Chain A
Amino acid sequence: MPAMTKPADALQRLRRVHEETVVGMLRSYGALSRTDLMRLTGLSRTTLFAIISEMIERGAAVETEAAVTGARGRGRPASLVALNPSAGLLLGIDLGRRRVRVAVANVAHEVVATAMADVPVDAGVAEQADAAADLVRRLCLERGIRLDALDAVGVGVVGVVDGAEKEAAGAVPRATPAVYLPVTERLEREFGVRIAIDNNARLAALAESTWGPRGRSPTSSTCAGPSASAVGSSSAGGSCAARTPRPASWATCRSTPTGRRVTAAAAAAWRGASGTRACWTPRRHAA
């Protein structure tokens, strides 16, 4: 009965759009009062309150009390609505040659904590993964972060995570090159969630377009073609891609949901053609 279901579907779609607007505002702004939400979303009081109660009932949102600042008026404190902070955490791990970095963020794009640890230069990927897992455990202990609600882990690695290999794997999305399998296996064992892996210079470009002010603003108007940002990573910590003798390897352009192309150029020039030692290592420049 298409004629009968159509109006209902349209209303449901509308409702869904409204709910997504509310979620979007909570993601962007964190905790908000109902008044603020009404102002930001432009939704009617009735619609908004119904959406919020349903979200709270479902556990998607929580109600918190506003922090009392200064002298308050009478009445009970205004309550704030926020996305359930335990609803999802994301863990980002950067496995550099000498340094492992981790970032914990929540679904609201908020970076909750970051940490780093040095690893020996000659450590293999498995040892780096071990170091990262230790680091995460330590960080969570120190900062009281609970990983119960961990959604997924993203891993940035030095070197080429080739698109060809991904495609060759067919239906399996984002297949991992064999050399990084110990990493994903180790981290899967540790955290028990989905692991996504990519080249870390590429990821730096993606981060730049996600969090950096340049990413959010339209790039140079002098550019006629699709605007793109390239990140050449100059980190001795190992953000240079490619151990390959070819001095440069840049990742292919990837589309972000915003439709912007982000290009990560990772130059291996930083560590010379041998690809084993950065050109400024103390051993070589010891006076």
Chain B
Amino acid sequence: MSLGSIDELVAAAQDRVPAVCEVVSAAAADLGRILADAVVQLDPARVVVGGELSALGSLVLDPVRAAIATLALPNAPRRIDVVPADLGANASAMGAVALLLHEEPAVPRHLRPAAR
């Protein structure tokens, strides 16, 4: 089947088109394998998956969870949350704004009190 854009891919996966689901969950399993590496090294409390495809929910998140559970210290008692991002597709653009907000002084210079 032919898909013109990422939106169509997401729509097709939401309709559970078998071929599409297969590709997406295989990719998610790959992502999980990579994230398992990261989890081992960084010991995070939570993994937040963003981007357009995270809207697919369990189709993407379950393979990630499975990979992390089996590959990243399988006997460790702690479970790591794998959750979709809150911000959706604009996250990176908003993050670029956040970068500026965090780099700048909390109160921009021209808003600071004039009195020293």
Contacts and interface: CB of A to CB of B under 8 A. Distances in A.
A60 B109 CA distance: 10
A228 interface: yes
B2 A236 contact: no
A239 B87 CA distance: 14
Interface centre among B37, B95, B107 (most CB of A within 10 A): B95
Interface residues of A, number: 91
Given A92-B97, A105-B97, A239 B50 contact: yes
B73 interface: no
Nearest to B94: A207
Given A231-B49, A285-B19, A103 B93 contact: yes
A121 to B, nearest CB: 11
A282 B9 CA distance: 9
Interface stretch (A15-23, A33-41, A163-171): A15-23
Contact of A90 (B4, B50, B89, B101): B101
Nearest to B41: A250
Given A207-B87, A211-B86, A280-B3, A151 B108 contact: yes
Interface in B1-56: 1-6, 9, 19-20, 23-24, 26-28, 30-31, 33-35, 37-39, 42-54
Interface string B60-88: 10001000000000000010010101110
A65 B50 CA distance: 40
A159 interface: no
Interface string A203-227: 1111111111110000110110101
A201 B64 CA distance: 17
Contacts of B6: 98-99, 235-237
Q: Is the interface of A mostly helix, strand, loop or mixed?
A: mixed
Nearest to A96: B92
B interface residue count range (under 10 / 10 to 19 / 20 to 34 / 35 or more): 35 or more
A214 B5 contact: no
A250 B44 CA distance: 13
Interface stretch (A72-80, A140-148, A262-270): A262-270
Q: Is the interface of B mostly helix, strand, loop or mixed?
A: helix
Given A88-B108, A233-B51, A282-B4, A263 B33 contact: no
Given A220-B81, A227-B45, A91 B97 contact: yes
B42 A279 contact: no
Interface centre among B53, B81, B97, B112 (most CB of A within 10 A): B97
B87 A287 contact: no
Contacts of B33: 247, 269
B31 A205 contact: no
Contacts of B31: 232, 234, 267, 269-270
B89 A23 contact: no
Interface of B: 1-6, 9, 19-20, 23-24, 26-28, 30-31, 33-35, 37-39, 42-54, 60, 64, 78, 81, 83, 85-87, 89-104, 106-108, 110-116
Given A92-B95, A280-B9, 4 more contacts: A88-B108, A212-B85, A234-B50, A287-B19
Going nearest first, the 8 A-B pairs with the smallest beta carbon separation are A203-B95, A235-B51, A154-B96, A92-B96, A207-B95, A269-B30, A94-B92, A92-B97
